[in-house]
């Protein structure tokens, strides 16, 4: 079987994290509070293994409505005979994407496992459902199809159509293939194997159904209190009036085939509703109305054939009791009436002499023979109709696209033992024997082979292999039961009784088989599920399974093409080849089924029937013990355990139980550095489990007793209870920290939210005029905000109240108010500018004038222009403030005025009208001076004019302004204030800022990735990737940045990226990195006070710009821009260098050719750094500094010139207080591209002492700690010193 998937939630079935790096799923505390299950959900964990203990566990769970139980990956299902509400969409979603160990046992879990394995491992899957009749096989198959249709995705209409068709096959085939029996109200009387085909995305693209052995004998007869196939009762009860008229249809009590067993109604079956579901399913499958009509015509023919009764004449021959019935049958079949009567009461016999045709006789039939012929015709029509429906379904569900994988669902008849067992039971039980053989081959045998493969010491478990029973039935040599039946049919084909006697004689040859006993006219077969006594009478005739020639000729004479199409293969009377028998067909079908199943990865569902009365409260222990025995559940558990009750891969063991060892976990994170096998061993040792209780295989860990697993699970649950106090304490600290942060954020937002709104409005205004109109310099100031209501109308100031009263706006909101200069034309005089007020509301543009009368001023409304009537706004392309509103035609014409805040006014007008007003910008402004008089105002640029526009005689002269493409000035940088770090509620650690005298706690181990996952090389910093620095040499440019490695770098640039090579062995004793305080720092509560040049050890880095450092055993927080890495003292003298080079060795010049480097041997792969190369920043977002100011300071120079250069821009913490000027940096060093200009990385381990390599020799690929290398940063520093000396 395919390896089960990793436990944990999946966002997408095939999704993987970037870089291929998986992490151990963090444990969930809620697991400790899950509902406790009754019994054990996996019976491999039973303490005592016996049929009785299995039965007790199943009974406990069944009584508690837990009907599903596992044996490893095998699902055991006990029929509840009631609706438990466990197949809802909500329940289905709980199993979606989950491993079977994460959720309780369920049929949805088997479906999820099959679907996941198909997508993950690209292997065909099959679900084999077995059990006796009434155990719930058909229901399980329906739920698997429900789950797959829900989770398989696909938005295409054709994919959804396939899903609908697959689900529609359930009601359709149940109607035609299921019936009510004594044991089951919906018993499958046929077998089917549904194959759902999927594309590479896991979407269903087609399906196919294979039918096995329909019990057609049920059409013509049933035992007391059983029923015919459901469709007959649905049809006779739910048919429409048109169908009743067409087919002469009556109720089921009117037909012999449906009423003979005296069972017309079933309590939990609604035949009328099921009939409508069947009609709907036919439509979904794609059956046309004509095809549906012909299907129901065939059913009517069968029903009326059953009502054909025969009377015995004086000579013993038969005659039709009611010719009207045969007349109606002939009408439905489309044949001659007399021919129907003749075929049903006589048969044609042809004699042969020496291979030549002899005489032909019409032999009359007695009533018994006539009834057999009538029944044979009815059975043949129904059997062929059923096969036609299945083939028609397959045509409709034919794959639309190419299929990649298949999921097969096998729903087949269960093992049957009746009082009278005949050929049908022999075939059914034979197929179940073949399925049991597959189960043994792929489960019990494979299970034991795993222990050999994993090299586990174990004791083999004995189990019954039923291959001997399969050979007894199907073998040809020596002949089996099917072969003996065929021989009997061939030698005594004329007389059924003689054929039966011949078969009895041949069964005596089978007595040598221990599983067969001949008992006169009966024989006994010892099946895996129990001993079954078969009755020989009629068995050979059922095996022949062929219609007589007269009946076939009758069908051939029909004018109904559909009926003729049901019998496409007519036997050739001149052929000497024996036609295949029913036994041959079922053996071939079973062989093909086994071949298909063996090609797929199987999942098993073993169903159990709790009682024979279909009761939801009765648990028949005796019957269930029998099923447990013949299903081989005890052997399955023993083989599954094989001395070890639980096994899983090392990775999943570590993931499940890593919390239990302090060496593999820290605060819920996985921290183990070794491989998974050693991690498993460490966990089991730290839990105190004896060595004899577990074994390590090649890929899996095995635990011997279930009590050990229970103990591990109990310790895992207890882990969360031990962590509860820590979580509570951490949460309270977090809430205090959160509240302080919230107060700061609220304070900042209250101070800035109004300004942000005004600034957004201003930005929109600049977008309106961008590139179209010259700007005034003061319009581009950074602190300019579009306040809108400059006359304070909304706040009801004295002037504002007067203006609001004059406009009559009441409580209407004012968007803009201000002063303008309106161009007023006088009769016979030149126009001149006159002051006005304007008030803009959501509805209108108001122009107000203040007049003086008798020494009293009064402001009145001069004009009101509705905003909806303003078509456009006219403006010039120069820097003047003139504008006009093109509104409705009026006596006053269009207002033309000068507004200092023209940009803001236009912005508000556009916002209020949803930008429906057009802004017209040109050197000439057109406007309506009066109702029918047009005028123009020209705008001329004159540098002599110092004002923003002088109007005279329809001409405005104005000086030059800022270019139209000018942008707003950036916002002025606020003066940096001293912001105290947030210390209240900080998640403090032991020995941290709250208790400086306390001994330092052990540093928290870093969480690690899942062992065994591929670890990609570290990506280079973003700044190096995006900086337009000089292109590095190919050898350096093509390699990723190495991971942190031991180094003793000075404050020189870090080494460049190198080619990846196998990492060196870890050093035995890592060095502790030290940092020096560049400036004095006065710490508050929780912080570390520093004096200049104090040395501290780094404990933890935080992304917000504060680091946790340790000094003299006390820990505290300090700003990282106050610290610099202390160069490690020179290592002890290395071994003597190699002999000096010959004097003739060439001296390699630098790239620039100006500075000489130390003599170095020329190596073809060596790369020489450019001594004059421009330094490259390693801070995110920095470009090459080239000796100038840092890029982020260029737009807005820092107000404090003495800020240390190492201050991190954009940090959450403030810049340090002013200090003395920082020391002059060392002389420029020839930098490797992409590695100069910033602080070196923090070393995590000491570099192993190595001998100095020859100066200038090529560095082998690898990290800084590679053996035989000299530290690159130290080499660069020495080289810079030599350059300075030269």
Beta strand ranges found along 1069-1113 (DSSP E): 1074-1077, 1095-1101, 1106-1111
Structure token digits, residue 266 = 């079933």
| The one catalytic residue among 416, 424, 651, 802 | 416
Rounded Cα gap, residues 98 and 112, in angstroms? 8
Rounded Cα gap, residues 494 and 347, in angstroms? 13
Structure token digits, residue 395 = 């045509």
Rounded Cα gap, residues 312 and 537, in angstroms? 24
Question: Which stretches of 958-1021 are DSSP H helices?
Answer: none
| The one catalytic residue among 44, 55, 113, 138 | 138
Distance from CA of residue 529 to its chain's centroid? 42
416 belongs to the catalytic site: yes
Rounded Cα gap, residues 1245 and 1072, in angstroms? 8
184 belongs to the catalytic site: yes
Give residues with Cβ within 8 angstroms of 961, minimum separation 6: 774, 775, 776, 777, 878, 879
Please answer whether residues 1158 and 1276 qualify as being in contact, where contact means their C-beta atoms are separated by less than 8 angstroms. no
| The one catalytic residue among 187, 486, 903, 1027 | 187
Q: Kindly tell me the burial class for residue 736, based on how many C-beta atoms sit within 10 Å of its own C-beta (0-12, 13-18, 19 or more).
A: middle
1113 belongs to the catalytic site: no
Please spell the DSSP secondary structure of 1101-1155, one letter per residue.
E-TTSEEEEEETTEEEEEEGGGEEEPPPPPPSPPSPPPPPPPTTPPPPB-SSSSS
| The one catalytic residue among 414, 949, 1238, 1265 | 414
| The one catalytic residue among 69, 99, 184, 318 | 184
Nearest to 228 by CA among 310, 292, 303, 309: 303
CA distances from 949 to 826, 901, 955 (A): 21, 14, 10
Please answer whether residues 1011 and 679 qualify as being in contact, where contact means their C-beta atoms are separated by less than 8 angstroms. yes
Nearest to 392 by CA among 300, 302, 295, 277: 295
Nearest to 106 by CA among 62, 139, 66, 138: 66
Structure token digits, residue 908 = 């508000």
- For residue 208, list its beta bridge partners: 195
Rounded Cα gap, residues 34 and 1240, in angstroms? 50
| The one catalytic residue among 77, 169, 188, 1039 | 188
Please answer whether residues 704 and 644 qualify as being in contact, where contact means their C-beta atoms are separated by less than 8 angstroms. yes
Rounded Cα gap, residues 478 and 470, in angstroms? 13
Please answer whether residues 440 and 465 qualify as being in contact, where contact means their C-beta atoms are separated by less than 8 angstroms. yes
Q: In what order do the strands lie in the sheet with 530-535?
A: 516-519, 522-527, 530-535
Structure token digits, residue 1233 = 């591209």
| The one catalytic residue among 131, 134, 765, 1105 | 134
Phi and psi at residue 1119, to the nearest 5°:
-65, 135
How many Cα atoms are found within 13 Å in the side-chain-facing hemisphere of 347? 16
188 belongs to the catalytic site: yes
Give residues with Cβ within 8 angstroms of 769, minimum separation 6: 775, 903, 906, 919, 921, 964
133 belongs to the catalytic site: yes
| The one catalytic residue among 41, 44, 69, 133 | 133
Beta strand ranges found along 954-1105 (DSSP E): 955-958, 1074-1077, 1095-1101
Q: Which of the 8 DSSP states describes residue 698?
A: S
Helices 467-474 + 481-491 axis angle, to 10? 10
CA distances from 16 to 10, 20, 120 (A): 9, 6, 12
138 belongs to the catalytic site: yes
Angle at 808 between CA 804 and CA 812, to 5 degrees: 70
Rounded Cα gap, residues 725 and 88, in angstroms? 39
414 belongs to the catalytic site: yes
134 belongs to the catalytic site: yes
Catalytic residues: 133-134, 138, 184, 187-188, 414, 416
């Amino acid at each position: 079987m395919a390896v089960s998937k990793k436990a944990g939630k999946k966002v997408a079935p095939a999704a993987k994290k970037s870089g291929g790096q998986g992490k151990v799923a963090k444990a969930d505390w809620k697991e400790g509070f899950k509902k406790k299950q009754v019994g054990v959900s996996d019976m491999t964990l039973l303490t005592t293994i016996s049929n009785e203990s299995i039965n007790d566990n199943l009974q406990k769970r069944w009584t508690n409505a837990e009907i599903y139980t596992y044996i490893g990956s095998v699902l055991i299902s006990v029929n509840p005979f009631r609706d438990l509400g466990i197949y809802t969409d909500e329940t289905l979603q709980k199993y979606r994407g989950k491993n079977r160990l994460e959720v309780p046992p369920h049929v949805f879990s088997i479906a999820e496992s099959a679907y996941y394995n198909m997508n993950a491992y690209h292997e065909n899957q099959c679900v084999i459902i077995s059990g006796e009749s009434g155990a719930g096989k058909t229901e399980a198959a329906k739920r698997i199809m429900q789950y797959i249709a829900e989770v398989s995705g696909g938005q295409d209409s054709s994919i959804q159509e396939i899903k609908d068709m697959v689900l529609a096959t359930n009601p359709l085939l149940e109607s035609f293939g299921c019936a009510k029996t004594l044991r089951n109200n919906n018993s499958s009387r046929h077998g089917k194997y549904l194959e759902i085909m999927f594309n590479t995305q896991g979407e269903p693209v087609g399906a196919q159904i294979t039918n096995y052995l329909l019990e057609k004998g049920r059409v013509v007869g049933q035992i007391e209190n059983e029923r015919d196939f459901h469709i007959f009762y649905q049809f006779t009860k739910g048919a429409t009036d048109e169908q009743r008229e067409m087919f002469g249809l009556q109720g089921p009590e009117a037909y012999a085939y449906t009423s003979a067993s005296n069972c017309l109604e079933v309590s939990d079956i609604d035949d009328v509703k099921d009939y409508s579901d069947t009609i709907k399913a036919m439509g979904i499958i794609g059956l046309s109305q004509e095809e549906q009509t012909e299907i129901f015509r065939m059913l009517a023919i069968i029903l009326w054939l059953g009502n054909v009764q025969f009377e015995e004449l004086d000579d013993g021959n038969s005659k039709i009791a009611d010719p009207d019935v045969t007349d109606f049958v002939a009408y439905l079949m489309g044949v001659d009436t007399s021919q129907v009567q003749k075929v049903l009461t006589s048969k044609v016999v042809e004699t042969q002499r020496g291979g030549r045709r002899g005489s032909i006789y019409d032999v009359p039939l007695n009533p018994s023979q006539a009834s057999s012929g009538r029944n044979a015709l009815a059975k043949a029509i129904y059997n062929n109709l059923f096969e036609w429906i299945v083939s028609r379904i397959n045509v409709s569900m034919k794959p639309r696209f190419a299929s990649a994988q298949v999921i097969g669902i096998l729903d087949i008849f269960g093992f049957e033992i009746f009082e009278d067992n005949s050929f049908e039971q022999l075939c059914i039980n034979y197929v179940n024997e073949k399925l049991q053989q597959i189960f043994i081959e792929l489960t019990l045998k494979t299970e034991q082979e795993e222990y050999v493969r994993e090299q586990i010491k174990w004791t083999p478990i004995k189990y019954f292999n039923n291959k001997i029973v399969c050979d007894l039935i199907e073998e040809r040599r020596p002949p089996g039961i099917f072969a003996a039946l065929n021989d009997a049919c061939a030698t005594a084909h004329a007389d059924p009784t003689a054929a039966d006697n011949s078969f009895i004689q041949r069964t005596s040859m089978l007595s040598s088989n221990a599983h067969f006993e001949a008992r006169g006219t009966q024989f006994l077969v010892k099946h895996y599920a129990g001993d079954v006594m078969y009755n020989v009478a009629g068995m050979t005739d059922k095996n022949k399974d062929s219609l007589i020639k007269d009946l076939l000729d009758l069908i051939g004479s029909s004018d109904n093409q559909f009926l003729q199409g049901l019998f496409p293969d007519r036997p050739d009377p001149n052929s000497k080849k024996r036609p295949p028998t029913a036994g041959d067909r079922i053996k071939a079908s079973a062989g093909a089924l086994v071949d298909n199943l063996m090609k797929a990865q199987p999942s098993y569902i073993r169903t159990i029937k709790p009682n024979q009365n279909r009761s939801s409260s009765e648990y028949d222990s005796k019957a269930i013990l029998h099923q447990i025995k013949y299903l081989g559940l005890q052997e399955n558990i023993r083989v599954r355990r094989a001395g070890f009750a639980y096994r899983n891969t090392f990775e999943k063991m570590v993931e499940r139980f890593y919390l239990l060892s302090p060496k593999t976990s820290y605060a819920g994170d996985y921290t183990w550095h070794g491989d998974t096998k050693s991690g498993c061993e460490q966990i089991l040792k730290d839990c105190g489990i004896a060595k004899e209780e577990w074994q390590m295989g090649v890929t899996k860990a095995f635990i011997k007793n279930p009590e050990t697993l229970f103990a591990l699970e109990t310790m895992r649950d207890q882990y969360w209870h031990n962590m509860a106090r820590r979580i509570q304490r951490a949460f309270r600290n977090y809430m205090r920290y959160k509240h302080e942060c919230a107060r700061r954020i609220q304070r900042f937002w209250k101070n800035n939210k109004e300004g942000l709104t005004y600034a957004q409005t201003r930005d929109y205004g600049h977008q309106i005029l961008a590139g179209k109109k010259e700007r005034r310099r003061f319009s581009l100031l950074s602190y300019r905000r579009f306040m809108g209501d400059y006359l304070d109308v909304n706040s009801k100031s004295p002037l504002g109240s007067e203006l609001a009263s004059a406009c009559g706006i009441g409580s209407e909101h004012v968007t803009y108010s201000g002063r303008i200069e309106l161009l007023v034309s006088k009769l016979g005089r030149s126009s001149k500018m006159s002051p006005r007020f304007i008030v803009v509301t959501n509805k209108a543009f108001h122009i107000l004038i203040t007049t003086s009368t008798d020494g009293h001023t009064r402001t009145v409304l001069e004009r009101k222009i509705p905003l909806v009537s303003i078509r456009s706004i006219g403006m010039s392309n120069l820097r003047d403030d003139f504008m006009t509103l093109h509104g409705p035609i009026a006596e006053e014409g269009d207002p033309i005025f000068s507004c200092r805040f023209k940009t803001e006014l236009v912005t508000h007008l556009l916002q209020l009208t949803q930008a429906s007003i057009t802004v017209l910008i040109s050197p000439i402004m057109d406007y309506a001076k009066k109702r029918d008089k047009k005028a123009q105002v020209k705008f001329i640029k004159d540098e002599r004019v110092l004002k923003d526009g002088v109007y005279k005689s329809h001409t405005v002269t104005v000086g030059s302004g800022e270019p139209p493409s000018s942008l707003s000035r950036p916002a002025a940088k606020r003066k940096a204030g001293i912001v105290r770090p947030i210390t209240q509620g900080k998640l403090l650690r032991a020995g941290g800022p709250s208790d400086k005298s306390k001994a330092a706690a052990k540093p928290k181990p870093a969480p690690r990735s899942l062992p065994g996952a591929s670890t990609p090389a570290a990506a280079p910093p973003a700044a190096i990737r995006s900086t337009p620095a000089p292109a590095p040499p190919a050898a350096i440019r093509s390699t990723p940045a190495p991971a942190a490695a031991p180094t003793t770098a000075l404050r020189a640039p870090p080494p460049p990226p190198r080619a990846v090579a196998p990492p060196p062995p870890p050093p035995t004793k890592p060095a502790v990195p030290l940092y020096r305080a560049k400036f004095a720092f006065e710490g508050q509560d929780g912080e570390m006070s520093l004096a200049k040049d104090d040395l501290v050890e780094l404990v933890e880095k935080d992304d917000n710009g504060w680091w946790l450092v340790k000094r003299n055993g006390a820990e505290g927080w300090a700003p990282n821009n106050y610290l610099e890495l202390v160069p490690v003292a020179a290592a002890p003298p290395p071994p003597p260098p190699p002999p000096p080079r010959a004097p003739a060795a060439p001296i390699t010049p630098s790239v620039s050719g100006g500075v000489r480097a130390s003599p170095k041997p020329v190596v073809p792969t060596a790369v020489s750094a450019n001594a004059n190369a421009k330094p490259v920043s390693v801070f995110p977002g920095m470009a090459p500094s080239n000796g100038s100011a840092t890029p982020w300071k260029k737009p807005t120079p820092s107000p404090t010139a003495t800020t240390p250069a190492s201050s991190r821009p954009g940090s959450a913490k403030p810049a340090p207080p002013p200090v003395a000027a920082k020391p002059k940096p060392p002389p420029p060093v020839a930098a490797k591209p992409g590695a100069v200009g910033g602080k070196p990385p923090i070393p995590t381990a000491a570099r192993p002492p190595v001998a100095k390599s020859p100066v200038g020799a090529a560095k082998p690929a690898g990290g800084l700690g590679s053996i035989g290398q000299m530290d690159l940063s130290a080499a660069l520093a020495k080289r810079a010193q030599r350059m300075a000396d030269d």
